[in-house]
Structure 1
Amino acid sequence: MRRSRFTAFTTSLLLATGLALTGAATAQASPLAATGGYVALGDSYSSGVGSGSYISSSGNCNRSTKAYPYLWNAAHVPSSFAFNACSGAKTGDVLSGQLGSLSTSTALVSITIGGNDAGFADVMTTCVLQSDSACLSRINTAKAYVDSTLPGKLDSVYSAISAKAPSARVVVLGYPRFYKLGTTCVGLSETKRAAINDAADYLNTATQKRALDHGFVFGDVRTTFTGHELCSGSAWLHSLDLLDIGESYHPTASGQSGGYLPALTGAA
């Protein structure tokens, strides 16, 4: 993918503030390994931003050998593997640049998409830099987009996947809740943390509905990430990271292997 919109968000956050601001899940070999190929689509949560070990040939897409698609491929050895997810991708990017590997022989497709369309980067920028009321207002704007516009964009992506890979099992993975509530934690107010979690739930609910309506499977990572949110003391997500600003608010390697991989394995 092109330069990550999540990266752009954190870079703007840094400038605006003026500051200098894992056990992999095991499973029995899937029958898909013997019957067809696996294609991994989506945004930075699928490419593995935040988990390190980036594949140099992936460029700004920042695909990682510690990302859940790579780990699933290593564990199950499908007949072919195409790792097309790209940091910063929106639904339009999936449609224009990620579907070429799909075919009638594709047996499994995974995807995370919709967060960039819904304006996650701008939501976080607003919530980190501005007041509680401004944060809530921006989240309400994002929710309105999720209600009015995102379903149609998801439908376009899902329909295109079905058309190109009609025999594939398609697993649509959601996004984790970001914060553990009710704890003492430096940073955003409890009001903002609760609103951000609610926004993640709202996006997941809309995504799950569209996925199920297309006959796909929804992999809910909120369960696997429970107890590993920011402010939990055992986070599988990066908070604002001044040493590597682009990894902020992305899963760590443990989040990929302990949060996303089990969700895919259970749904595949």
Structure 2
Amino acid sequence: MDPRTARRTRPVLVTLSAVAMAAATALPAAAAPREVVYDALGDSYAAGFGTAPFTPPCGQSPLAYPYVLDGRMKIDLDDFAACSGAVASNPEGEVNSVHAQLGALDEDTDLVTISIGGNDVAWGQAVGLCLYGSDQQCAGALAYSTGLVTNALPGLLDDAYTAVDAAAPDAHVVVTGYPRLFSPEYGDYLGASVTEQQMLNDAADLLNTVIAAEATGAGFQYVDVAKRFDGHGVNSSDSWIYPDNFHPTVDGQRAYAAALTSQINPRSLR
């Protein structure tokens, strides 16, 4: 290159570089993601009952999935209102209902999670009778429970979800289902045969199907957890279900949190 040409072009290059640096400096800095205000509602599966230490009267545990979520993706757990025994229904005088937990929600709530419905359909009684009762008692309890799932639960969930939406109309609401409690491939468990275990798992799937349909109808997000528990039933060699209370272990609560983390995008909350 002609030295004279080099001398002529050098100032132009310097000038262009200076302009580029000035333009970059003038661009606004990307805003840091804000914290997501999170409130957790629900029953014993959300409260973390069984994962010691847990505190009365609601059986809340610091190892429950709402606490596992706290701090992930800028999620900030504000109110942990889930309580063991809570129901979706709102009978007069019923204090242990998800309706009684709505005080945790307000205009600042960005994210809500709910695990509710199992206590409304006599699910625990069905499991107990299949484990310790006769075959006839198991079949009868399952028929009663699935009848409630099909005929009563949709209306109860619809009322509960409507109340949640009214209490936090700007929040993104995520509804979780329940795990399958058994791994029939490991054989009989207590008084529950392989067939009865599969019937109980099928009933859990029905429960989850109804919950998912009602959640979607309410404009909420449904997150499945059942698949993550496959192979980790109470009778498996790597159980995520406590055998004495049929609630998720620490690993089970982490599975709930993992399912939620994989499906929640804080940048697209409504």
- Return the TM-score normalized by structure 1: 0.79
Separation in structure 2 between the aligned mates of residue 74 and residue 65 of structure 1, nearest angstrom: 13
1:201 maps to 2:205:
yes
Q: Provide the aligned C-alpha RMSD in A.
A: 1.8
Work out whether residues 234 and 246 of structure 2, in 8 Å CA contact, stay in contact via their aligned partners in 1: no
Q: How does 1:1-268 map to 2 (within 5 A)?
A: 34-54=34-54, 56=55, 59-79=56-76, 81-91=78-88, 92=90, 93-187=96-190, 188-239=192-243, 241=244, 248-257=245-254, 259-268=255-264
Tell me what 1:13 maps to.
none
SS at match of 1:60: coil
CA positional deviation for 1:117? 0.3
Aligned to 2:18: none
Find the aligned partners of 1:62 and 1:190 in 2 and give their Cα distance: 31
Cα shift readout 1:83-119 (whole Å, capped 9, x = no counterpart)? 0000111113334420002112211100110000011
For 1:212 and 1:186, the matched residues in 2 are separated by: 35
Letter in 1 for 2:220: F
SS, match of residue 173 in structure 2: strand
Deviation at 1:80, TM superposition (A): 5.3
Q: Tell me the distance in 2 between the aligned counterparts of 1:253 and 1:80.
A: 19
Gap runs ≥5 in structure 1: 1-30, 242-247
Percent identity at matched positions? 38
Per-residue CA deviation, residues 121-169 of structure 1 (Å, 9 max, x unaligned), is: 2112221221223212211111111111111110111001111111111
Measured at CA, do residues 185 and 147 of structure 1 come closer, stay the same or move farther in structure 2, by a change above 3 Å? Answer: closer
Higher relative contact order (CA 8 A, sep 6+): 1
User: Is the deviation greater in 179-188 or in 64-73?
Assistant: 179-188
Residues in 2 aligned to 1:79 and 1:44: alpha-carbon distance in whole angstroms:
21
Q: Where do 5+ consecutive residues of structure 2 fail to align?
A: 1-30, 91-95, 265-270
Computing the radius of gyration from Cα coordinates, the structure with the larger value is: 2
1:195 aligned counterpart, secondary structure:
helix
Tell me the TM-score normalized by structure 2: 0.79
Structure 1 range deviating more: 136-145 or 94-103? 94-103
Question: How far apart are the structure 2 equivalents of 1:164 and 1:108?
Answer: 12
For the structure 1 residues 99 and 132, does the alpha-carbon distance in structure 2 shift closer, same or farther, using more than 3 Å as the test?
same
Q: CA deviation at 1:78?
A: 3.6
Q: How many residues align?
A: 226
Counterpart Cα distance in 2 of 1:218 and 1:203: 13
Q: How far is 1:182 from its partner?
A: 2.6
Q: Which amino acid aligns with 2:59?
A: N
